[in-house]
Amino acid sequence: MMHSRVRAGMGAVGLVLGALLLSGCASMSEEQCLGANWAALGHSDARDGDMPDFGAKRVQSCAEKGVRGNLSEWQRGWEQGRREVCVPGNADSWARRDSEYKPGFCPPDMEPLFLSIYTPARDRYRFEKRIRDLQQQIDERSRRLEEVIRDSGRSENQSSQRRAELSARRSSLEHEIRNLRDRMRTETMMRVVR
């Protein structure tokens, strides 16, 4: 009895893992094809930003396994899903996911409003990400500089060659930090001008 529960639990884990692996990939196993809720798949694929050709790829994947897919149900679910995604309230979160908008994804009656929010939000998100990346680089170089400063003060018996190496490394790191700070200021100023 316990063995069958463990097997059933492992089967459920396998289904969850299969679903996770399937997201973003049109390939489907025979079992997934046989048990597919095509409308739900289309809905989910639209919420992931997949385009209409993704459904045909899913159907083709199932056809290769001898299972007939239901493209019209997938399309129905996809249409419903994309109409839910393309509301103005989702534009900012879509941009924060760093999901690239594919022209024509939103219905023509919804696309202009969605893009009017999505585009500046995406630009803001990318700017913030660049600034965070630059700050992380500055922090990393600063840590290395502190190590060099610590190493140079540790022993008075260091060779002149070692002192020269540490001094050169210190100058190089200080130069990198100044350049990164300049890039960050430039990025910020360019953002303000826009």
Question: 99 lies in a domain?
Answer: no
Report field, pTM of the whole predicted structure over 0.75:
no
| pLDDT value, residue 156 | 64
Q: What are phi and psi of 179, to 5 degrees?
A: -60, -40
Residue 192 pLDDT grade (very low, low, confident, very high; cuts 50, 70, 90)? low
| pLDDT value, residue 157 | 66
Contact assessment for residue 122 and residue 95, using Cβ atoms and an 8 Å cutoff = yes
Whether residue 126 is found in the same domain as residue 189: yes
What is the spatial distance between Cα 81 and Cα 7, in angstroms, rounded to a whole number? 34
Whether residue 129 is found in the same domain as residue 80: no
Question: 142 lies in a domain?
Answer: yes
What is the spatial distance between Cα 28 and Cα 123, in angstroms, rounded to a whole number? 35
Looking up tokens 């809905």 gives 43
- Domain span including residue 42: 23-85
Whether residue 79 is found in the same domain as residue 136: no
CA atoms within 13 A on the CB side of 30: 3
In this structure, what is the dihedral angle of CA atoms 29, 34, 36, 39, given to the nearest 10 degrees? 130
First-to-last alpha carbon distance for the chain, in angstroms, is 67
Whether residue 126 is found in the same domain as residue 186: yes
With a CB cutoff of 8 Å and minimum separation 6, the contacts of 99 are 49
| pLDDT value, residue 179 | 84
| Alpha carbon 185 to chain centroid, angstroms | 26
| pLDDT value, residue 81 | 95
Question: 58 lies in a domain?
Answer: yes
Q: Higher model confidence: residue 60 or residue 97? A: 60
Question: 143 lies in a domain?
Answer: yes
| pLDDT value, residue 44 | 93
Question: 182 lies in a domain?
Answer: yes
Both tokens of residue 123? 């630009």
Residue 194 pLDDT grade (very low, low, confident, very high; cuts 50, 70, 90)? low
Average pLDDT for residues 46-68, to the nearest whole number? 92
| pLDDT value, residue 119 | 92
Question: 126 lies in a domain?
Answer: yes
Question: 64 lies in a domain?
Answer: yes
Whether residue 81 is found in the same domain as residue 129: no
Whether residue 184 is found in the same domain as residue 133: yes
Whether residue 79 is found in the same domain as residue 126: no
Question: 67 lies in a domain?
Answer: yes
Whether residue 126 is found in the same domain as residue 172: yes
Last residue of a domain, one of 63, 85, 107: 85
How many domains does the structure of the chain reveal? 2
